[in-house]
């Protein structure tokens, strides 16, 4: 009984939404739809990945109410916006997303949102000459820029600028927190350089489930091999597994890594194939690739996830 009542309500709400997005926001508020800070003073900011959520929180401070759509372990390449997400996007004062086609399944809804709400790709200032070409999508850039701290640093200013434009009274604070965050990123960069340089040179090979670490490899001097293409949409084939297992056994690479947002089975297939070749390949641990850790932990932040990765990598390869 209850089910059908909600069903009818659901259809009604959907129809209203389809015609008048503005009315929907009121409706959702009236139904206790959980729009964080809908009646509060702060800017309502909606973000996509955990890295972008962290960025918006750090720059925005207490003047903003950030709703991050993608939690820990979520794969942004495959993520589709739910009805609730659409409400959070259209009900925001500003939307920040990664861009570079990382949120591939959300391209259409982000474009739609942009007609009603300022919608900003935080990677817009990454110099074009620094971008790597996507392995999977011809003509697209590789979106995983956050694992080169010098590139992720360029995402701070667009957020400072946009928040300041929408909330001029808060501009000084956005500016100050943005500068502090950039300093923190500089320190992170120095930490990563130092740690990676402690790995013997012939072992600086990073093998993971998908190609999320190519910028990381370029900046910090590691050879990077992914089992899948750059997106997680394609399954690794048997040929990929054999080829990689040959390479690992020949070069005596001690460990391969699992990623938090990618199924483990592909990596386990490579481990099994390497062992068939007489090479005792370890699984070196789980890396955060396209999403950070659980809310409330250090790894939920960009800085924390990056440091955790670097520790996992150095411990396994050193
Ligand atoms: Zn990815």
Homologous superfamily of 10-178: Nitrogenase molybdenum iron protein domain (3.40.50.1980)
- CATH topology match: 10-178 vs 192-317: yes
Q: Which CATH class is domain 192-317?
A: alpha beta
CA of 88 to the centre of ligand 1 (A): 24
pLDDT of 139 strictly over 60: yes
In the block, tokens 């190609």 appear at 211
48-53 average pLDDT score: 98
112-128 average pLDDT score: 97
Report the pLDDT value the prediction gives residue 35, as an integer from 0 to 100.
Answer: 38
Q: What are the residue ranges of helices labelled H in the chain?
A: 2-19, 21-30, 50-60, 83-90, 107-114, 149-152, 156-166, 171-196, 214-220, 238-251, 265-276, 302-317
pLDDT of 74 strictly over 80: yes
Helix, strand, or coil here: 185?
helix
CA of 278 to the centre of ligand 1 (A): 31
CA of 261 to the centre of ligand 1 (A): 8
pLDDT per residue over 216-247, tens digit each? 999 999 999 887 654 555 566 777 888 889 98
Q: How far apart are CA 284 and CA 273, in angstroms?
A: 16
CA of 103 to the centre of ligand 1 (A): 10
Could you tell me what percent of the chain has a pLDDT over 90? 70
Q: Where are the domains of the chain?
A: 10-178, 192-317
264-269 average pLDDT score: 85
Q: How far apart are CA 46 and CA 127, in angstroms?
A: 25
pLDDT per residue over 271-292, tens digit each? 999 999 999 999 999 999 999 9
Q: How far apart are CA 104 and CA 297, in angstroms?
A: 28
- pLDDT category, 263, cuts 50, 70, 90? confident
pTM, two decimals, is: 0.83
């Amino acid at each position: 009984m209850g089910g059908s009542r909600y069903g009818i309500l659901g259809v009604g709400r959907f129809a209203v939404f389809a015609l008048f997005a503005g009315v929907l926001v009121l409706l959702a508020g009236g139904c206790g739809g959980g729009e964080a800070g809908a009646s509060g003073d702060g800017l309502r900011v909606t973000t996509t990945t955990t890295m972008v959520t962290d960025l918006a929180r750090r720059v925005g401070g207490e003047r903003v109410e950030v709703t991050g759509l993608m939690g820990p372990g979520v794969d942004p390449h495959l993520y589709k916006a739910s009805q609730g997400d659409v409400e959070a996007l259209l009900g925001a004062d500003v939307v920040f997303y990664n861009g570079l086609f990382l949120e591939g399944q959300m391209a259409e809804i982000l474009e739609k949102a942009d007609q009603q709400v300022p919608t900003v790709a935080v990677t817009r200032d990454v110099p074009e000459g620094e971008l790597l070409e996507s392995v999977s999508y011809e003509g697209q850039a590789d979106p995983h820029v956050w694992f080169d701290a010098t590139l992720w640093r360029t995402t701070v200013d667009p957020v400072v600028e946009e928040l300041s434009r929408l909330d001029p009274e808060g501009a000084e604070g956005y500016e100050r927190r943005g500068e502090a965050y950039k300093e923190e990123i500089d320190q992170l960069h120095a930490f990563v350089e130092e740690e990676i340089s402690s790995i013997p040179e012939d072992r600086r090979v990073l093998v993971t489930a998908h190609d999320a670490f190519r910028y990381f490899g370029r900046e910090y001097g590691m050879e990077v091999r992914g089992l899948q293409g750059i997106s997680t949409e394609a399954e690794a084939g048997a040929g990929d597994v054999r080829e990689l297992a040959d390479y690992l056994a020949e070069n005596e690479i001690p460990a391969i890594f699992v990623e938090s947002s990618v199924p483990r089975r592909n990596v386990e297939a490579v481990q099994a194939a390497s062992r068939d070749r007489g090479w005792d390949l370890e699984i070196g641990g789980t890396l955060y690739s396209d999403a950070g850790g659980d809310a409330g932990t250090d790894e939920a932040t960009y800085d924390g996830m990056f440091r955790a990765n670097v520790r996992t990598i150095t411990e396994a390869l050193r």
